[in-house]
Amino acid sequence: MSERGLRILLVDQNVMRASVLEEGLREAGCTDVIVVRDMQNVLRRIVDADPDVIFIDLENPNRDVLEQMFQVSRLVRRPIAMFVDRSDTDMIAAAVDAGVGAYIVDGLKKERVKSILELAVSRFHAFNRIRDELEHAKQALEERKVVDRAKGILMKERSLSEEQAYALLRKAAMNENRRVVEVAQSVLTAARLLK
């Protein structure tokens, strides 16, 4: 998606700083920019606006404000660029852990806004791909554990080899037009009921 088609939500209590970012976004071709100046119920405002990208500008944030913004980042799953005047190693690590795509310390210049926007979106997509791959790997591992447990039950109860037990699960899955893991889960459920 081009920058022009993005809906940007800009969270900033300072009118002067917000105008610098807003001008930089408009010069970058972003025409749909929503500015939120009140930090009360900021999560509700973000959800209501349903932006594509969030820019958060915090002059001198304390840890509570930063934690609130990191919580927003974790919950809304959108590209986020955060601007702060000062930071430390712990804050940067917390920002990265929260999924903030661009954490800019003392770098509020309208000429940099477009590249910061592109960075935040790019890092967000990369982070999502990695998260999706991790979830897929976790699911595959869990499914494998279910199949292995079911094979173990079949091997013990029917005196089968591992290959024979898997072949039996596979045959049942094909006959029932189900996945092997679904049949394996049925074997585990039945074994629990028969105890």
pLDDT for 61: 65
Per-residue pLDDT of the chain (195 residues; tens, 9 = 90+): 455 578 999 888 888 888 888 888 888 888 898 888 877 777 788 888 889 998 888 776 666 767 777 777 777 788 888 888 777 788 778 777 777 888 888 767 778 888 888 888 888 888 889 989 999 999 999 999 999 999 999 999 999 999 999 999 999 999 999 999 999 999 999 999 887
Residue 52, Cβ neighbours under 10 Å: how many? 17
Q: What is the CATH number of the domain that holds 107?
A: 3.40.50.2300
**Of 132, 149, 171, which one is at a domain's C-terminal end?**
132
CA–CA distances in Å: residue 121 to residues 61, 114, 141, 149: 23, 11, 30, 42
9, 98, 109, 145, 166 from 69: Cα distances, Å: 13, 9, 21, 38, 49
**Degrees, nearest 5: CA angle 85-87-88:** 165
Please report the pLDDT score of residue 60 as a whole number.
67
pLDDT score for 107: 67
Residue that finishes a domain, picked among 116, 132, 148: 132
List the domain range (segments joined by +) for residue 48.
3-132
Residues 89 and 20 occupy one common structural domain: yes
Residue type, 121: V
My answer on whether 182 and 88 are in the same domain is no
Q: Considering its fold, how many domains does the chain have in total?
A: 2
For residues 127 and 160, state if they share a domain: no
Q: Which of 107, 132, 157 is the last residue of a domain?
A: 132
Same domain, 43 and 109: yes
Give yes or no: residues 94 and 137 share one domain. no
Question: 116, 109 in Cβ contact below 8 A?
Answer: no
Provide the angle, in degrees to the nearest 10, between the axes of the packed helices 42-49 and 63-76. Answer: 30
Find the angle CA(116)-CA(118)-CA(123) to the nearest 5 degrees.
95
Say whether both 50 and 87 belong to one domain. yes
